[in-house]
Amino acid sequence: MPEGPEIRIAADHLDRAVRTSVATEVFFAFPHLKPYESQLRGCRIAAVETRGKALLIRFDNELSIYSHNQLYGRWVIRKAYDYPATNRQLRLAIHNARRSALLYSASDIEVLDRGQLASHPFLSTLGPDVLSNGSERVLDQLRSKKHRRRRFSSLLLDQRFVAGIGNYLRSEILFVAGLHPWLRPMDCSTDELRVLADVAVAVAWQSYRHDGVTNDLEGSRILKAQGHTRNQYRHWVFGRGHQPCRRCGTSIVEDTAASRRIFFCPECQPGHG
């Protein structure tokens, strides 16, 4: 599933393609959204925003298109009406005089007015966005009574805690912070929590700026130059079960937490006690 950095990158592409332009045509595949096609046609796109893993396209008539890519959704930007050859199903299309923004395979699409945005059952429960809020907000969440007894392995996937962190970021953040996945905020010192908050923001921003690479940038550059594939140089630990840790050589552990794969180094991320 695309995580916060990937959705922010998609939003950047959308912003360049459609923001400030007039939508000459809007297409929805879902019958219940068809009435909005005429309401959005001829409107100008005022902003393209992200909220964690969700994306909002705001129009100047105060309606917004909300979308969540879930596992399979994918945005494609093309010349106007230049549809790609694909077996994916087109769910949403926004056309202007020069470009078409096409959303394929996503099933979670809504049109919301200002009041519905404020009360939306997903958006209204999100924690601070890892790419939009500083580490102090993350630290506040880690210190809160609401979250302090939860293991990091499940806490970091909870969008009510911090929005935009998903499965690969969870493993990478905990590795860089040097914290075992089974630890809880209450098990950690103030300094450890501050490091974790700083790392969460830094790793997410690195992923956004460097096309999903969370590994040491110089190390990944060297591996790439040596002919390694993207999957081989992209991450510190995620997807590298039973391979040697890049720092200490210990075999990376692959386990399951919150029904998702998690990876960690037992040497670099020791549990307390």
Asked if 62 contacts 45 with a C-beta cutoff of 8 angstroms, the reply is: no
pLDDT tens-digit map of 181-210: 999 999 999 999 999 999 999 999 999 999
Q: What angle do CA 3, 9, 220 make, to 5 degrees?
A: 75
pLDDT tens-digit map of 203-215: 999 999 999 999 9
Q: At what angle do helices 167-177 and 190-209 cross, to 10 degrees?
A: 130
What are the beta bridge partners of residue 235?
none
What is the pLDDT of the chain when averaged over all its residues? 95
Instruction: Establish whether 240 is a catalytic residue.
Output: no
2, 5, 128, 185: the catalytic one is 2
The CATH code for residues 135-264 is 1.10.8.50
Alpha-helical runs (H) found in 147-264: 152-155, 167-177, 190-209, 217-225, 230-233
* CA distances, 140 to each of 148, 169, 170, 197, 204 (Å): 10, 20, 18, 9, 18
CA terminus-to-terminus distance, the chain: 35
5, 6, 8, 53: the catalytic one is 53
| Residues, the chain | 273
What are the beta bridge partners of residue 50?
55
Instruction: Establish whether 3 is a catalytic residue.
Output: yes
pLDDT tier at 153, thresholds 50, 70, 90: very high
Instruction: Establish whether 221 is a catalytic residue.
Output: no
CA neighbor of 258 nearest in space, from 177, 171, 157, 149? 157
74, 260, 261, 266: the catalytic one is 260
Q: What are phi and psi of 32, to 5 degrees?
A: -70, -15
**Residues 234-251, mean pLDDT to the nearest whole number:** 97
Q: What is the percent of the chain where pLDDT is above 70?
A: 99
Which pTM does this prediction carry?
0.93
**Fold for the domain defined by 4-125:** N-terminal domain of MutM-like DNA repair proteins (3.20.190)
**Residues 236-242, mean pLDDT to the nearest whole number:** 97
Asked if 62 contacts 76 with a C-beta cutoff of 8 angstroms, the reply is: no
Q: What are phi and psi of 190, to 5 degrees?
A: -60, -40
Boundaries of every domain in the chain: 4-125, 135-264
CA neighbor of 177 nearest in space, from 159, 160, 158, 155? 155
Sheet holding 99-104, edge to edge: 25-28, 90-95, 99-104, 74-79
CA neighbor of 3 nearest in space, from 207, 234, 147, 196? 207
Instruction: Establish whether 218 is a catalytic residue.
Output: no
3, 128, 172, 185: the catalytic one is 3
pLDDT recorded at residue 273 = 53
